[in-house]
Amino acid sequence: MTAMTTIRIDHTALPDPLNLRGLDAAARMIAAALRDEGITAEASDLISHIKIEVPTTQLLATSTMLASLQLI
């Protein structure tokens, strides 16, 4: 079994243009951007935040990618 890490991003922290789109669309765009970098990730829109689940072994790569997108 693979250890998973959950990253939560508050909706209000989303930069333009992500915060101008539907939040479900923003979650799909984040997941697609991570997949494009070879990161296995699932992102979903929850009531107060976007939840991103990644294998813990890919946490560094995920953090680097999210930082480049100005999400963290």
pLDDT tens, residue by residue, 20-47: 567 788 889 899 999 999 999 999 988 8
Q: Are 52 and 30 in contact (CB under 8 A)?
A: yes
Q: Give me the pLDDT at residue 19, please.
A: 60
Joined tokens for residue 70: 């100005």
Residue 11 pLDDT exceeds 90: no
What percentage of the chain carries pLDDT values higher than 70? 93
Q: Under 8 Å CB-to-CB from 13, ≥6 apart: which residues?
A: 71
Q: Are 50 and 26 in contact (CB under 8 A)?
A: yes
Q: Give me the pLDDT at residue 71, please.
A: 86
